[in-house]
Chain A
Amino acid sequence: MKKLISVAVIAVFCLGFFCCDQAPKEQEQAAPAEEEMTVLTPLGHPPSITLKPMAPRLDTLEGKTVYIVDNIYPGSDLLLTEMAAWFEREMPKTKAIYKRKNAMMGGFEGEDPTLWAEIKEKADAVIIGLGH
């Protein structure tokens, strides 16, 4: 009796397996080929870019004044005061002036028109940091 039940179970299992294996293939064959569709771009509109030439470079930094501008990001003051000291030590003929931006509103993104005017009048070159 046990043997008969086992044979029956195996037979049912095989039949089920056969049917399960066949069903997806039949569905696949019956499915129509996928049609093409058109969709709209989801993008916004970027602006055109106006290229700007860079300022001409100096022949040498000797005898020149370099403004080292701290844009007040945390840590900038240590790095840039060290940089001013480096110029004094390694390039003594270059006058390096450390300036901390005074941007009460806007923080490191803010403008400092007074400092910009001073730079325009007195600086030969500028180093600014940090862009974090």
Chain B
Amino acid sequence: MGIPATAIVLAEFYEQEKEKALHEGMPEVRTQWIQGPVWAKTREEMRRDVMEGNNPLTGRPVMQEIVEKLTKPLTAEEKRTGEIKRDRGPETYTGTREELNKLFLEKRFTDFLPIVLPTPERVNEMLMGTSHDPDEVVGKMSPTNTGQYFEFWTFTVRDVAVNAVMAGCKPEYMPVLLAILSPDPRTGISKEAISVSDNGFTGAVVINGNIRDEIGLNYDVGAVGPYAHANTNIGRAWSLASINLGNCGKPGTTYMGVIGNPMNLINIVIAENEEKSPFKPFSVRKGFEKGENVVSLFEGWGILSAANWKVNRWGTEMDYPQIAKDIFAQQGMFTPTAVLSPPIANFIKARFDTIEEFVNWAVPAGPSFFPGFAKTKPKPDAAGDEPDAGRTAPKTPPMFTFPKANIIVTGASNNNYWSVGGLSYSRSVRIDDWR
């Protein structure tokens, strides 16, 4: 616009914003740093501690710096134009096993667990798992799936194979991994497993079709646990690929989860137990043929045993549909998602013919909201927090409309347990397109 500006950003995001500013072509952009967080502060706290406080990085008054940032003449560096050419550095590294493992750790190419070193021989063997050209560009990825905060990095089939080797994958996992990393046809963007968000999201996939048995995915006892080679290594490869092909997972810049999420290591890889489920497979409900090999992508908080909720009453008479309905009512932001064991699915089937019928009953109609977008309500007990005549009552617009619920069936029948959480579905991909 050609209008001088300054953006106010929490000092805790300094490293991230410096990287973002560089990517945007304004490495010296004049940002005003303040002490965070500001969310849930009272008006008085905001005035006293933030606005009339000091920049925590420079120790100087915030408002004085803001005025200077809009009036102090630009330096030569701030006026600089041109292009910074970048590449990914050396195509290969040579050393002993110990040296290379150390180098991969130092360069943060890993998730800090031991890796399989990606020699050309191992990568070529991995590439046997797909007929796609190793130099074919698969997609582009950033630590946010919109790319709003960070630039996109592009990657090829070979790049995916390198990360698959590092994770410990077998060549036959490649079509699944490539399908997960394939771009959304609506946006051209591939889905990262590890989000930059300070919320701490995790990635999740649901796999349907005959490939479940072909590559040994577990959908019986411990289905969502880590002790199955295919589930774990596909999930880990998605995260390693996100780190190396999308610049994800770097605490302080591209991984800002306040608490973090342990599921970022291997994600949630669910193969549906289609054989024991009384309902149509998830992929069939999304329009694919039964038996067709499909991977469906999700993102959210993750899942937790339904037994954690008080409404999951323990007794001899259990009304599982009602319990699910009560728990769903407690979910927010992401779509309520139930991962049902076959016995629980059968309890629901006894009352509802289809998943759609159950979901329509269990989840009241209406969109979900992200409540944080509402204006701050004055706190009656907060000093100096009087109603603002210029502001209307908080009214949250319908930002997003989510699907009502996701229902997935997997696991064993050794007890009536199931899990629930918040996971939003994005899309389903045909795996065989990547064979």
Tell me whether A and B are bound partners.
Answer: yes
Binding site for B on A (CB under 8 A): 34-61, 66, 72-79, 81-83, 86, 90-91, 100, 104-105, 107-109, 116, 119-120, 123-132
* B310 contacts partner chain A, Cβ-Cβ < 8 Å: no
Residues 115-165 (chain B) with a chain A CB within 8 angstroms: 117-120, 123, 141, 146, 148, 151-155, 158-159, 162-163
CB contacts between A and B, total, < 8 Å: 255
Residues 10-31 (chain B) with a chain A CB within 8 angstroms: 10, 13, 17, 22-31
Bound CA–CA A129/B32 (angstroms) = 9
Bound CA–CA A60/B4 (angstroms) = 12
Instruction: Report the nearest A residue to B103, measured CB to CB.
Output: A39
Residue pair B1, A55 in contact (C-beta under 8 Å): yes
Would you give 10 A-B contacts (Cβ < 8 Å), ordered by A? A38-B93, A39-B119, A40-B158, A41-B162, A43-B109, A46-B87, A73-B39, A78-B42, A78-B376, A131-B13
Residue pair A46, B148 in contact (C-beta under 8 Å): no
Bound CA–CA A42/B153 (angstroms) = 12
Residues of A within 8 A of B104 (CB): 42
Residues of B within 8 A of A124 (CB): 3-4
11 extra interface residue pairs, beta carbon distance < 8 Å, beyond A41-B90, A51-B82, A107-B373: A34-B96, A39-B93, A40-B120, A43-B89, A45-B155, A49-B83, A49-B84, A53-B78, A56-B2, A77-B376, A82-B51
Residue pair A55, B88 in contact (C-beta under 8 Å): no
**Contact digits for B282-314, partner A, Cβ 8 Å, 1 yes 0 no:** 000000000000000000000000000000000
Question: How far is the CB of B61 from the nearest CB of chain A, in Å?
Answer: 11
**Size of the chain B interface, CB-CB below 8 angstroms:** 106
Binding site for A on B (CB under 8 A): 1-10, 13, 17, 22-32, 34, 36-43, 46-47, 50-52, 63, 66-67, 70-74, 78-98, 100, 104, 109, 117-120, 123, 141, 146, 148, 151-155, 158-159, 162-163, 166, 198, 240, 244-247, 370, 372-376, 388, 390-391, 397-400
Bound CA–CA A76/B10 (angstroms) = 12
Decide: A130 near B86, CB < 8 A? Known: A51-B81, A61-B71: no
Decide: A56 near B123, CB < 8 A? Known: A41-B93, A43-B88, A82-B43: no
Residue pair A79, B46 in contact (C-beta under 8 Å): yes
Residue pair A37, B5 in contact (C-beta under 8 Å): no
Residues of B within 8 A of A105 (CB): 399-400
Question: How far is the CB of A56 from the nearest CB of chain B, in Å?
Answer: 7
Question: How far is the CB of B320 from the nearest CB of chain A, in Å?
Answer: 35
